[in-house]
Amino acid sequence: MYMLGLGIILALLKYLEIGPVAAWSWWWVLTPFGLTVLWWAWADSTGYTKRKAVEKMDQRKQDRIDKHKDALGMRPRKPR
The reported pLDDT for the residue numbered 29 is 94
Query: Could you tell me which residues come within 8 angstroms of residue 68 by beta carbon, excluding any fewer than 6 positions away?
Result: none
pLDDT band for 76, please (50, 70, 90 cuts). low
Same domain, residue pair 51 and 31: no
Residue 54: domain span: 47-80
Query: pTM for the whole thing?
Result: 0.65
Residue 25 has pLDDT above 90, yes or no: yes
Same domain, residue pair 1 and 39: yes
Of 1 and 68, the structure prediction assigns the larger pLDDT to 68
Same domain, residue pair 41 and 15: yes
How does pLDDT run across 33-50, given as a tens digit for each residue?
A: 999 999 999 998 999 888
